[in-house]
Structure formats: C-alpha cells, structure tokens
Amino acid sequence: MAKNVLIVDDTAFMRMMLKKILSQNGFNVVGEAGNGIEAIELYQELEPDIVTMDITMPKMDGITAITKIREQDPNALIIVCSAMGQKQMVIQALSSGAKDFIVKPFEEERVIEALGKALEG
Amino acid sequence: MNQELIKDAVMDMLLELSNIGTGNAATSLSRMFGNEAVGIEVPTSLLCPISKFAELLPNPEEEIVGTLRMIEGDVGAIAFIQSLHDALVMAGRLLDKHLQGLDELSRSAIDETSNIMTASFVNALADISDMQLVPAVAGMAIGPSAAVLNSILVESGTVSDQVIVVESVFLLEQYRATGHIVFLPESTFLDILIDKFRLE
C-alpha cells in the first residue's frame, strides 16, 4: 500500500517539486504545510507515515517542529530537506529526531532512497 | 597593525568566499536544472563602503529582484540581487518553460533560486568562519533597482559601514545570467572573517 507523506516547505515551488517526485515513485502525498505550526496541526490531523521537513520557515522553523511532533509521537518519521547543509545544522536536525538530512537542491534518487530507508526502519 | 597585511587578508578572504560561494551555487543550479551543465566565469568581488552600494547597479530604473535574509547572531544580513530578466530566465529553467511575467509559481521559483544562491554563500561563509550560520526567512522585493537597493539597506538594519559584493556569472547554454550577492556584515563578524586570513 502507498505510504502517506506530509510535505513541509515554505516555498510552493519546492512543495510542487517534492510532490511530483514522490507521486511518481508510488507515494501518496496527503498534505502540504508551509511552516512548522501548520506541520504540527497537519501531522495530528493526517497521521502520515513520513514527513519531509524544511528548516528555514516563517512562524516556526523545522527543527522546533520536529521536536514538537516527536513529543506527541516519538515514532514520527521525519526527513529534513534543507539548503543549509552545514555540519552543525545536520547534527542538530538528527539529534532533534530527524531520520535523515537531504541537502537542497536534491536529486530524485536521493529523496526516494532516504524515505525508503526511513520507512524500512 | 600592518595595513598591507590586512589588505592581503581582505583580498584572500574575498577570493575564497567568491570562489567557494560561486562554485557551490553552480553545482546547486546544475542539480536544480536536472544536471544541465552550468558554467561560471571567474567571479569578481569587493569590499566597499556602504555609501557605494547604490552604484552597484548603474541603471536605477532597471527592474530587479532582491531577496534579503538576516543571519542569526551578530553576523549580518545577506542579499541576492538579480535583474528581473535573469531571474525569470533562471526560474524558467527550473520550471522548464519560458517565463514572460510574474505569477505565483514564477515568484515561488525565483524565491527558491534566490534561496539556493544565498545558501551557497552562507555555507561558504560558515566554512570560512568555522561557525554555524543560520539565516532567517527571506523577504523579497521586485521593482526599480534604486528602490530595491534602498529597501535592502533599510530592512537589513546592520550597523556595518562596509559591504561585501560578489558578482557571479552563470553560463546556461548560450545565456549569461548574472547575480550579485551582497553581504552586509556586522563589523565584529567582518573582523572574524579577515582574521582567518591574516598571516601575522
């Protein structure tokens, strides 16, 4: 059965790109959020199997959103997609509970591989 | 302090920043454009007084796009500036179509190109300074260059009296797209950058 994905990114273009990549590879995009607050609300409402999370966003950044989502659901699977590939940022994202960190701009294979690995556990 | 040594350190720092930043940006653009080859010309860079900032773009009426991001901590602000025409050409490559005007999707694609360009230079600054640099969400302005540059100065609110400007030229098949990175550093952060290259 297709896995349900919640996409979180503040640019509509990037959400569209991710949606296209994921849909073409058998994933079901159940929701899109433009900031961390929307992400938390949609996570509760939609209970997706996995989340792609941007870091730099208005209202609430991705790292805070990851921490809050995992407080509610410690098993939440979240993959970070950010242009800020600095070592410290990757460490911070992974220690807040992200399963993987994809540096933008990403390649389709890398996205699918990261989601596949996280879902396999 | 020896002024010549400082001058050398500034030159080295600018060279390193422009080479790493432009290299990062070309790699990122190539990936965004589906692994299309993106060439670069040797970037030019300078550290100049903020009063010279408006002279960057000679035609004050030219329509440009400017995005500005503050960087957390006492670091400064970074802007990416491009003519609207070049911005639409680059966004068009992303969307794989010829863009003639601005709609919601082309604005979003321009926002993302600017985001990637800025990140390329913020990551270069992080490499050079050996610090974690966290940029905030961008604000975007489109309009005559004089107005956009002015709004960048006002919005950045930095106390620095100097700016770093890097001009990068990207070769997209037959098209030359130019972009300016403008870094408005806090003076303490500028000292950190220059110190990294001092040979004393």
Give the pair of three-digit tokens for residue B161.
């009296």
Identify the DSSP state of A41.
Answer: H
pLDDT of residue A85: 81
Q: Nearest residue of B to residue A88 by CA position?
A: B132
Q: Which of B90, B112, B127 has the most A C-beta neighbours within 10 Å, making it the best mutation to test the interface with A?
A: B112
- B161, pLDDT greater than 60: yes
Topology of the domain comprising B3-84+117-195: Chemotaxis protein chec (3.40.1550)
What ipTM was predicted for this assembly?
0.73
Q: How far apart are the C-alpha atoms of B103 and B98, rounded to whole Å?
A: 13
* Cβ-Cβ contacts under 8 Å, B135 against chain A: 56, 84
pTM, 2 dp: 0.86
* Cβ-Cβ contacts under 8 Å, B115 against chain A: 11, 56, 83, 104
Q: Nearest residue of A to residue B126 by CA position?
A: A86
Of B169, B199, B197, B200, whose CA–CA distance to B47 is shortest? Answer: B197
* Cβ-Cβ contacts under 8 Å, B116 against chain A: 83, 104-105
pLDDT tens digits, residue range B28-66? 888 888 878 889 999 999 999 988 877 877 788 899 999
B122–A12 C-beta distance less than 8 A: no
How many structural domains are present in chain A?
1
Domain span at A74: 4-120
pLDDT tens digits, residue range B124-152? 999 899 899 989 888 899 999 999 988 88
Q: B142, exposed or middle or buried, with CB in 10 Å at 0-12, 13-18, 19+?
A: middle
Of A88, A115, A102, whose CA–CA distance to A29 is shortest? Answer: A115
Q: Do β-strands B139-144 and B63-71 pair in parallel, antiparallel, or remain unpaired?
A: antiparallel
* Cβ-Cβ contacts under 8 Å, A89 against chain B: 132, 134
Of A40, A48, A39, whose CA–CA distance to A3 is shortest? Answer: A48
